[in-house]
């Protein structure tokens, strides 16, 4: 029996992080999860249990913060791999760009330095499609060769993801000492939530189902199931050919917000009775955004068409994602289960 290898998963209470931990534990790894406060460890165990984990003997926790470099050296001790999912997410408390960019970039560098010092073999960074496709427009799908061009149209979250991912590649190029890096760039993440504390991306479904979204903004983007995102992280961690590569995580064709609402209405009947039936002109969204912070985050993306290709992950790593419709419905059904609608 080989000794189990240990993977540090940062941002351990996050949506993608929890599913990465489930995939790792189910595949014979030990997991050490970082949390800003160990008070959240009970919630994380509850979410993992919801995701099918019954034994926690291979799970431990460490306290670490993106703004405290010292905390990472202790956290990464004894780990052979790191999956770095922790990053400031699009929430309305972030007042300035620095609230996103500085902790995102510094956090990546703190984790990479600590990992290198501890002799970690490979780091898998959770970046985002936001680091691939903004500040530019393309008729053809975006690929891993594309990078966001930072200009005035790029919102702080996408900017932070771009800057922090570039910082990671620069670090590896200049100081790696044999440590490897692979990056996963998910599109809009859907799939079953594990508790009433869930990812910002699921808010779209909640707002459609509870009638908060009266009409759909004109947006076309890719979607992916969180379980498939976790599977791609596992492949990026364990497969030799993933070293030095980025992988876009997207399930097939991009969908408009109206198509998402249609999927809900078609499959959920009465429960989706409040889902929007029409698109709203961009100017209406802009006016409403003055009074609604959630809508304000959508404004920079209005009218954009963001198609993506996951051909690289499929051909190089044998990744097989579920259909976008399945991911969207799984998110909706889990929200109903947790009485969020």
Query: What is residue 95's predicted lDDT score, i.e. its pLDDT?
Result: 63
CB 236 within 8 A of CB 210: no
CB 148 within 8 A of CB 130: yes
Predicted confidence (pLDDT) at residue 88 exceeds the cutoff of 50: yes
Query: What is residue 98's predicted lDDT score, i.e. its pLDDT?
Result: 81
Closest CA to 186 of 39, 6, 17: 17
Task: State whether residue 280 is helix, strand or coil.
Answer: coil
CB 238 within 8 A of CB 28: no
Query: What is residue 299's predicted lDDT score, i.e. its pLDDT?
Result: 85
Closest CA to 32 of 71, 75, 3, 73: 75
Query: What is residue 44's predicted lDDT score, i.e. its pLDDT?
Result: 97
Predicted confidence (pLDDT) at residue 92 exceeds the cutoff of 50: no
C-alpha–C-alpha distance, residues 59 and 110, integer Å: 23
Where are the chain's structural domains?
A: 6-190+223-250+308-321
Predicted confidence (pLDDT) at residue 330 exceeds the cutoff of 70: yes
Predicted confidence (pLDDT) at residue 322 exceeds the cutoff of 70: yes
The DSSP code for 251 is -
Percent over 90 (pLDDT), the chain: 79
Predicted confidence (pLDDT) at residue 1 exceeds the cutoff of 60: no
Average of per-residue pLDDT across 11-27: 97
Burial of 47 (0-12, 13-18, 19+ CB in 10 A): buried
Average of per-residue pLDDT across 258-265: 98
Among 78-92, 227-241, 323-337, whose mean pLDDT is lowest? 78-92
CB 82 within 8 A of CB 111: yes
Rounded to the nearest integer, the mean pLDDT of the chain is: 93
> Residue 99 is encoded by which pair of tokens?
């609230």
> Residue 95 is encoded by which pair of tokens?
């007042």
Q: Which residue has the higher pLDDT, 320 or 252?
A: 320
C-alpha–C-alpha distance, residues 57 and 80, integer Å: 18
φ/ψ of 3, rounded to 5, equals -65, 135
> Residue 205 is encoded by which pair of tokens?
């479904």
Average of per-residue pLDDT across 248-252: 96
* Region for 324 from its dihedrals, namely left if φ exceeds 0, alpha if ψ lies in -120 to 50, beta otherwise: alpha
> Residue 75 is encoded by which pair of tokens?
């956290």
Percent over 70 (pLDDT), the chain: 97
C-alpha–C-alpha distance, residues 269 and 235, integer Å: 37
- Measured in residues, the chain has a length of 341
C-alpha–C-alpha distance, residues 90 and 73, integer Å: 27
Closest CA to 26 of 194, 234, 241: 234
> Residue 16 is encoded by which pair of tokens?
């993608």
Predicted confidence (pLDDT) at residue 332 exceeds the cutoff of 90: yes
> Residue 260 is encoded by which pair of tokens?
């998402």
Task: State whether residue 216 is helix, strand or coil.
Answer: strand
Query: What is residue 111's predicted lDDT score, i.e. its pLDDT?
Result: 97
Closest CA to 205 of 271, 301, 249: 271
Instruction: For residue range 146-198, list pLDDT tens digits in order.
Output: 999 999 888 888 999 999 999 999 999 998 688 999 999 999 999 999 998 87
Query: What is residue 2's predicted lDDT score, i.e. its pLDDT?
Result: 61
Burial of 186 (0-12, 13-18, 19+ CB in 10 A): buried
C-alpha–C-alpha distance, residues 158 and 171, integer Å: 20
> Residue 117 is encoded by which pair of tokens?
């010092």
Query: What is residue 91's predicted lDDT score, i.e. its pLDDT?
Result: 57
Predicted structure pTM score: 0.96
> Residue 171 is encoded by which pair of tokens?
């670090």
Predicted confidence (pLDDT) at residue 296 exceeds the cutoff of 70: yes
The CATH architecture to which 6-190+223-250+308-321 belongs is: 3-Layer(aba) Sandwich (3.40)
pLDDT band at 93 (very low <50, low <70, confident <90, very high): low
């Amino acid at each position: 029996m080989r000794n189990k290898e240990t993977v540090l998963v940062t941002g351990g209470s996050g949506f993608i992080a929890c599913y990465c931990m489930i995939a790792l534990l189910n595949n014979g790894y030990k997991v050490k999860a970082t949390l800003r406060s160990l008070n959240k460890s009970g919630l994380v165990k509850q979410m993992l249990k919801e995701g099918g984990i019954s034994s926690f003997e291979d799970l431990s926790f460490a306290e670490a913060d993106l703004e405290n470099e010292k905390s990472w050296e202790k956290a990464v001790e004894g780990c052979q791999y790191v999956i770095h999912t922790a990053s400031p997410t699009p929430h309305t408390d972030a007042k300035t760009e620095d609230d996103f960019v500085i902790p995102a970039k510094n956090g990546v560098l703190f984790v990479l330095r600590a990992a290198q010092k501890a002799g970690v073999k490979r780091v898998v960074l959770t970046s985002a499609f936001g680091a691939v496709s903004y500040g530019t427009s393309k008729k053809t799908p975006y690929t891993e060769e594309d990078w966001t061009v930072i200009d005035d149209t790029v919102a702080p979250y996408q900017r932070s993801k771009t800057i922090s991912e570039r910082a990671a590649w620069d670090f590896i190029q200049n100081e790696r000492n044999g440590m490897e890096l692979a990056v996963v760039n998910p599109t809009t993440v859907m799939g079953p939530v594990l508790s009433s504390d869930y990812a910002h991306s699921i808010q779209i479904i909640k707002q459609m189902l509870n009638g908060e979204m009266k009409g759909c903004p004109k947006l076309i983007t890719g979607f992916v199931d969180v379980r498939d995102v976790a599977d791609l992280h596992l492949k990026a961690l364990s497969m030799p050919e993933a070293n030095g590569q980025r992988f876009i995580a997207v399930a097939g064709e991009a969908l408009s917000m109206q198509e998402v609402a249609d999927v809900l209405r078609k499959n959920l009947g009465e429960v989706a009775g409040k889902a929007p039936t029409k698109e709203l002109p961009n100017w209406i969204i802009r006016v409403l955004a003055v009074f609604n912070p959630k809508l304000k985050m959508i404004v920079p993306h209005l009218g954009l068409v963001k198609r993506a290709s996951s051909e690289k992950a499929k051909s190089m790593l044998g990744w097989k994602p579920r259909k976008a419709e399945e991911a969207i419905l799984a998110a909706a059904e889990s929200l109903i289960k947790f009485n969020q609608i």
